[in-house]
Amino acid sequence: MHWNMRLKAAERGIWKSAEMRRRLADAGLELSAGKMSALWAGTPTTIRLDDLDVICAVLECEPTELLIREPEKLAAHKPKIEQTSTGERSSPRVAPRFGKPKSEPPL
């Protein structure tokens, strides 16, 4: 997913994160400077649905305008399907990992 808040804000004439933070606060969403910086500068790892609702209200947009799908990234992570000599399709083999476990159970 690609986070598109900065472009949507620019379309509404909001050019600085401080202005966006003020408008969010006026709408009832108080964000720390650090949280606002993370939302403004990049793609957030997580976002609360209530916060997303307020952001959409301030920017007068839908969540689908803020969260842009990137199918090419999904395709890069998808396992490749191999074809056998008989023409059947099979998933890649999963091999067990041997070695010492990371932790031992308590005695």
Mean pLDDT per 10-residue interval, the chain, length 107 residues: 92 95 96 92 90 96 91 71 64 68 66
The pLDDT assigned to 104 comes to: 67
The pLDDT assigned to 101 comes to: 62
The pLDDT assigned to 84 comes to: 61
Domain locations in the chain?
2-68
Q: Do residues 20 and 14 make contact, with C-beta atoms less than 8 angstroms apart?
A: yes
The pLDDT assigned to 5 comes to: 94
The pLDDT assigned to 42 comes to: 86
Using CB atoms within 10 Å of the CB of residue 56, give its burial: 0 to 12 exposed, 13 to 18 middle, 19+ buried. middle
DSSP E strands: which ranges in 1-107?
2-3, 67-68, 82-83, 89-90
pTM: 0.66
